[in-house]
Amino acid sequence: MLVMHESTAGILLCRVGDGENSEIKIVDKYLFKENKEAVNILSEIKNHRINDELCGFLKKNVSEDEYLIVNDKELVKSLGEKAIKAKEDLILQKKLKMEIETRILKHFDLTEEEFRNKWRYIADNIATDSLHFQVKEFDTMVIQSIKLYDDLEKDVNMHSMRIKEWYGLHFPELSNLIENNEKYLRAVDRIGNRENLSKMEDEECSEFNMKKVQKLAKNSVGSDLKDEDIKKIKEDIACVLSMITYRTELVSYLTEKMNEIAPNVTELLGVMVGSRLLVKAGSLSALSKMPASTIQILGAEKALFNALRQNGKTPKFGILFHAPLVSNCANKGRMARMLAAKTAIAARVDYYKKDRDGALGKKYYEQLDKKRQKMQDVGSKGVVVRKKTGSKPKVEKR
């Protein structure tokens, strides 16, 4: 059997017998002339490809009736396209590696220092190229952005709760009147000490009803705070408001990136749900390879495995529940199934097609929205309720 072994110094072709203790013979070797050539060839092999020079070397040594043993299933396909028969054998490759690596310096006439320098140069360059490739992939930017958005959301909510408790010592009634966190923070920032409300006019505050707040302030049960305490609260509010502003900018950035890399998925699911699906899948490439049944329950893995262990009902949706088409539908399970099927197609179009404008996503959204509207009068058990004037509702099975 003819086996290909890659190293930092070159490519070795070895013939190995069928027996366990069979001798390993070097048939031929392809020595890398320069370190740059080594980086290019090894990077191609890492990405399951063979360049023309190496292909010529292999064709010269591998006969038409013989199979070349490699350690990569995808590389077998690439070699087949070049008319070189190949198959994968990891056990034989492992055995060969243990034998060859001990004598690699002798095979390529290298000193230990030369081999170490080659190895370091090639490893650094391949790692750098891999990092550059990841940066070029825009879905990596989307994944990091949505994770940052979630962190910001948690921080804003936590700080808002802390400020409500802190300022609640002085004016506890205000939190009951203004429930929105951002409006509450801006109101506190403008009011400061509740005694200032008597001097304020209606035009100064758009976040709340001035007369109601002034009335609450007169009868407030809160204790007085010093000016330095109010100052510290306002400083914390300024930090939270800056985070809220940045969060809004981050959503705009996310929208731009999602429309650039996955416009059809974005049109179908929305920016936030689409980006969360990318995070769960790992990349747009991984999402495009997933079947609709997997996309449907992404985000509900824990519930799925619990149901399988306990022989219970499996979940009908995961992250897709937050999509408007599902959350606003009467029959959520059925809509989630249809939406997952369309999302699988949209993800594949976004990943494999170069010219994409989101037209397919819009078309699918309109189709599913019409079906959702039809489902509004249909219960979860598939029953249509039709009312007649002056009589009881008539129930028909669908």
> How confident is the model over 42-70, as pLDDT tens digits?
888 887 888 888 888 888 888 878 888 88
Mean model confidence pLDDT for the chain:
83
Kindly state whether residue 272 falls inside one of the protein's structural domains: yes
In a domain, 386, yes or no: no
Quick one: 26 and 124 in the same domain?
yes
Q: Which position has the higher pLDDT, 312 or 7? A: 312
Q: Give domain status of residue 384, yes or no.
A: no
259 vs 209, which has greater pLDDT? 259
Domain membership flag for residue 385: no
Q: How sure is the predictor about 105, in pLDDT bands with cuts at 50, 70 and 90?
A: low
Domain check: are 144 and 122 in the same one?
no
Task: Determine the pLDDT at residue 30.
Answer: 83
Q: What is the pLDDT of residue 165?
A: 93
Kindly report the pTM of this predicted structure: 0.64
- Tell me if 391 is assigned to some domain: no
Of 133, 161, 194, at which residue does a domain stop? Answer: 133
47 lies in some domain? yes
In this prediction, what percent of the chain has a pLDDT beyond 90? 37
292 and 209 inside one domain: no
> d(Cα 155, Cα 122) in Å, to the nearest integer?
43
* Alpha-carbon span 160 to 386, nearest angstrom: 48
16-25, 87-96, 383-392: least confident range: 383-392
CA–CA distance, 337 with 292 (Å, rounded to integer) = 8
Read off the pLDDT of each residue in 219-225 and give the average, rounded to a whole number.
Answer: 87
Alpha-carbon span 29 to 296, nearest angstrom: 51
pLDDT score of 131 more than 90: no
**Which of 80, 110, 133 corresponds to the end of one domain?**
133
* Total domains in the fold of the chain: 3
Mean pLDDT on 247-257: 94
Inside any domain, residue 397: no
Which span out of 12-21, 54-63, 305-314, 373-382 was modeled with the highest average pLDDT? 305-314
CATH number at residue 313: 1.10.246.90
The enclosing domain of 114 has a CATH number of 3.30.420.220
Range of the structural domain that residue 289 is part of: 262-378
Hey, which residues does 386 pair with through a beta bridge?
394
| Average pLDDT of the segment spanning 222-238 | 92
Q: Within this chain, do residues 78 and 33 fall inside the same structural domain, yes or no?
A: yes
- Whether 67 and 145 map to the same domain: the answer is no
Q: Which helix (H) or strand (E) holds 2?
A: strand 2-6
Query: Do 13 and 129 share a structural domain?
Result: yes
* Over residues 309-315, mean pLDDT: 90
- C-alpha torsion sign, points 320, 321, 323, 328: positive
Residues 61 and 142 in one domain: no
